[in-house]
Amino acid sequence: MSAPATTIRETVTMTHAALFDLDGTLVDTPRAIVETFAAAFGALGESPRPEAEVRATIGLPLEQAFAKLLGVPQDDPRVGEGVAHYQEAFRTVILPRARSLVFPGVEEGLADLQDHGLTLAVVTSKFHASADALLTAAGLRDRFAVLIGADDVTHPKPHPEPGLTALDLLGARPGGAVMVGDTTHDLRMAHAAGMRSVAVTYGVHGRTELASARPSFTARTFTEVVDHITGVLPADDVIEALLDDSTHHIEFNGHLTNHVKHAVVALAGLGVQPQRVKAYHDNYIRMTPYGCAVEPARPAERTIDDDTWLDLLGRRQDWAAYVEFFDRREREIGMAALLGHYMPALLPGWVGALQHAAIHLGWALDAGNRRMALEGLAYLAYAHVDCHPERAAVSAARAGERPMETLLRIAAFWEAEQPGLGAWVEEQVGDDSAAAAGVHPELLRSGLQSRIARMLATGHPLMYDLPGWTAAEDPAGTWDDLAHLVTLLYLAEPGDFLLLHLVTALHAMRTVSDALPPEQRPAVVRAYWTGVLGVLFSRAHFAAPGKLAALDALFASATDDVTDPRWQREWEWHIARAVEEEEEHNPKLVYVMRDLWHRTGGRSVFRVAAGQFTATPPLPVTFEQPPAD
């Protein structure tokens, strides 16, 4: 069963979540489970299995447990019979005793967590109905907003799907969540899903076995669990304060984007401690990697309203006034309606500010922060650079083409047409080109942004000859294909600053797409693809089709076992490196790649790309001129 689609909430807020295993974590059922297995084996005409063997299967789905204890495949008829006998015995052996089996401190602790603003869920290897009955009989069911059983997912624990499904339903991110459990299955699921984990030693697995799964914290009692969670997750109000900050301008030294909130979202999402994130933030504010400080906020110079909001589109004037405008409108109609109403006009300009305006909005929606989302909308208006999706049309000849086939076709065209095509691009984007007259003076100072703006103004037929996949009504699968495509582009030229922006912008555009009404989502895909081609063409060269095809063949079907501790350690190394990087694009790279790795069930290409860090590019000689803003 696939995870449900995430939808934006009317009020953008960050949700902190605590997920719990059931047996051996909330309810002291292991001994009763041994008795229940014994009753089931008796009904099958089998002798009871040793207690140690039975306890070793606790945490696994019943079918897996019976197959293991019987020594038969899961599709053996006796497995199904055993499960049926177990469920009958469960109703007569465990349910009547459920309230007395609740571990000390659980009832009070769950209430305390809710008082601290956390949303709670149960993620168990029990069938949903059995887990629901046990929680109800124990008097705990009303504490949990979500219950995920083994039959609610395709891949049970330790696969990350149960945890990620619960987070989707809660509207929470892995970086704001913790999983509590008594077995390595719980802990490995948590790590594979990108969550913190708390191991409890009073359940099935002992301290040594639990330590092998590398929990974030180990607790001896449920009270220690609660004390740890309330001491860690609510501290993320530090993160909210950083994202709510309004004391700095969105740019500095002219057109350079103030990226620091993107880094905060990435580091928090990677599970970095809030105080360490704040230190990273404060260091960036004092001195960016470009050698200059972030600039203070500028006051609004006018009042923008619905009649005038398009007048300044792309003119790089009065960002603060745009923020105030979207703030007023959001209070009137809510965030979902705000996005649905204004994004159709803003979407064609997503490439502006080297895609950072779109990144600012999309990552704000990912983090659930209202202030940052309003800033992103304002930045899209302020820095709007039109990619002209109205010039594009879906080609009947490309109806069955897939994204990778489209990329290879365009790469082959470039290879065949060089050097003439590269010379044509240079003619279009050169300082004396006709398109330069329509580019904002500050972008002429920037180098990269001016080339992109001029390429988008001129265009090329290949940019507008759209394949059929850009018109899919449900673009969820298309985004996965595009993620593979842009990651291969980045691996073909690792560390390339422009290509890295396409990766982090994809995460943003996908999040924006999910936040819009379904009928508007295909337009996000089309705008993204048109803009991507504009960026790629502006460089006057293209990755070789042979190299892209070889990388695709290498990674197309390569998948990691997401429960393997080796990959957990590798992600820990990537995160540790990212925290030490002054170049904030590197934490963003790791965050996006880990999200894609989880989302796609461990596609190896994303793990490999996560380690390909970039360096801050030197400023062009045009920066010797003063800013034009």
Catalytic member of 23, 186, 386, 595: 23
Q: What is residue 444's predicted lDDT score, i.e. its pLDDT?
A: 81
Q: Is the pLDDT of residue 58 over 90?
A: no
Check residue 35 and give its pLDDT: 80
Write the DSSP string, 25-50: TTB--HHHHHHHHHHHHHHHT-PPPP
pLDDT of residue 361 exceeding 50, the answer is: yes
Q: What percent of the chain has pLDDT over 90?
A: 65
Q: What is the band of 9 on the pLDDT scale with cuts at 50, 70, 90?
A: very low
Instruction: Name the pLDDT band for 39 (thresholds 50, 70, 90).
Output: confident
pLDDT, mean of residues 38-43: 86
Burial label, 404 (beta-carbon count in 10 A; 0-12, 13-18, 19+): middle
Residue 1 has pLDDT above 60, yes or no: no
For residues 496-505, average pLDDT? 96
Identify the pLDDT of residue 4. 36
Q: Which residues on adjacent β-strands are paired with residue 2?
A: none
Residue 42 pLDDT level (bands cut at 50, 70, 90): confident
Tell me which of 21, 28, 318, 366 is the catalytic residue.
Answer: 21
Give the pLDDT of residue 14.
60
End-to-end CA distance of the chain: 52
What whole-number distance in Å separates Cα of residue 214 and Cα of residue 184? 9
What mean pLDDT comes out for the span 47-58?
80
Reference 548, options 379, 376, 412; nearest CA is 412
The tens digit of pLDDT for each residue in 152-179 reads: 999 889 899 999 999 989 988 887 899 9
Rounded Cα distance between 203 and 263, Å, is 38
Q: Report pLDDT for 314.
A: 95
**Residue 473, pLDDT score:** 84
- The larger pLDDT score, comparing residue 140 to residue 568, is at 140
Whether the pLDDT of residue 256 is over 60: the answer is yes
Name the percent of the chain lying above pLDDT 70.
Answer: 96
List, as one string, the DSSP characters of 42-88. Answer: HHHT-PPPPHHHHHHHBTB-HHHHHHHHHTS-TTSHHHHHHHHHHHH
pLDDT attached to residue 60: 74
HSE at residue 578, side-chain half, CA atoms within 13 A, is 30
Half-sphere exposure of 24 (CA within 13 A, CB side): 29
The mean pLDDT of the chain is 90
Does the N-terminal peptide bond of residue 461 adopt cis geometry, omega within 30 degrees of 0? no
pLDDT at 615 over 90: yes
Task: Give 531's pLDDT tier (boundaries 50, 70, 90).
Answer: very high
81 burial (CB, 10 Å; 0-12 / 13-18 / 19+) is middle
- The string over 102-126, giving b where at least 16 C-beta atoms fall within 10 Å of a residue's C-beta and e elsewhere, is bbeebbebbebbeeeebbbbbbbbb
Mean pLDDT on 598-611: 94
Burial of 36 by CB count in 10 Å (0-12 exposed, 13-18 middle, 19+ buried)?
Answer: buried
- In 158-220, DSSP assigns E strands to 177-181, 196-200, 217-219
Least confident of 77-81, 197-201, 575-579, 587-591: 77-81
pLDDT at 5: 37
Residue 550 has pLDDT above 80, yes or no: yes
> What's the rounded mean pLDDT across residues 274-283?
93
Determine the distance from the C-alpha atom of residue 54 to the mean position of all C-alpha atoms in its chain, rounded to a whole number: 38
8 Å CB contact between 326 and 342: yes
8 has a pLDDT exceeding 50: no
Residue 234 has pLDDT above 70, yes or no: no
Whether the pLDDT of residue 72 is over 70: the answer is yes
Question: Closest by alpha carbon to 160, among 586, 621, 564?
Answer: 564
pLDDT digits (tens, 9 = 90+) for 414-465: 999 999 999 999 999 876 665 666 788 888 888 889 999 999 999 999 999 9
Residue 23 designated active-site? yes
Q: Is it the case that residue 279 has pLDDT exceeding 80?
A: yes
Decide if pLDDT at 320 tops 90: yes
pLDDT in tens, 384-419: 999 998 999 998 888 889 999 999 999 999 999 999
pLDDT at residue number 33 = 81
User: Hey, is 420 helix, strand or coil?
Assistant: helix
Q: Is residue 237 annotated as a catalytic residue, yes or no?
A: no
**Per residue, what are the HEC states of 214-253?**
CCCEEECCHHHHHHHHHHHHHHHHHHHHHHHCCCECCEEC
Q: What is the pLDDT of residue 235?
A: 59
